[in-house]
Amino acid sequence: MDRDSFLALLRQHRAIAVIRADDVSSGLHQAQAVAAGGIRLIEITWNSVQPEQLVSTLRQQLTHCTVGIGTALSIADLRCAAAAGAQFCFCPHTDTALIETAHGLQIPIVPGALTPNEIVAAWQAGASAVKVFPVSAVGGASYIRSLQGPLAHIPLVPTGGVTVENAPGMVGAGAIAVGLSTGLFPQPMVVNRNWAAVTTLARGLVNQLSAPDTALLEGDRRTVLTA
């Protein structure tokens, strides 16, 4: 998948479900639950139990979804993920060797960054988009909005503290998409395997992000800001 196709998916779907699973069964059920709620972008963190099996199985079961990995820390992680069928990769940091490897594997890569300097460096190194992590530590939506003046050309994906409630504000502030982990998978729901409740959360998120006032494309947002 090339960068443009990946960015089109982010703009279309807006939300990425981030799954960190303690066992394969739980990971599969979490993915199936959010997919039933309308989420189409699913990330399996590489520090999940048997992430290769999760990715491979979900690629077969959820053919209408795009399945990638997160928390990739090494080239070995990325190569294993690619062999399992991962369609994109998120990292908590920026590593030029990982970015170059992802390009060779034709996998969109979203490295993590926080400051404007780090975000620009990640973009210039060849990132498909930049993960702003952890966004809750630096002001959430207000921080994303503050970055838009100088860095509006860089597609940002805030994660870390994103919830169903604050996700629309992140997108309205200029994020191309958001990543949610505990916001979609509260621990009590996962422990009790209350997958119907997870589906309800996912459906509510999808509905909110589909609303006209939050689904702002880059050109639309610039028009609003300069009007």
> How many other CB atoms sit within 10 Å of the CB of residue 143?
18
- Spatial contact of 100 and 78, defined as CB atoms under 8 Å apart: no
Residue 116, pLDDT above cutoff 70:
yes
Paired sense of beta strands 41-45 and 89-90, if any: unpaired
SS3 category, 156: strand
SS3 category, 64: coil
Instruction: Work out whether the CA dihedral 168, 34, 90, 49 comes out positive or negative.
Output: positive
Q: How many domains does the chain have?
A: 1
Residue 225, pLDDT above cutoff 90:
no
- Residues whose CB falls within 8 Å of the CB of residue 71, separated by 6 or more in sequence, listed in order: 20, 45, 46, 47, 90, 91, 92
With vertex at residue 154, the alpha carbon angle to CA 224 and CA 173, rounded to the nearest 5 degrees, is 40
What are the tens digits of pLDDT across the range 12-34?
999 999 999 999 999 999 999 99
Give the structural domain span for 56: 3-226
CATH no. for residue 90?
3.20.20.70
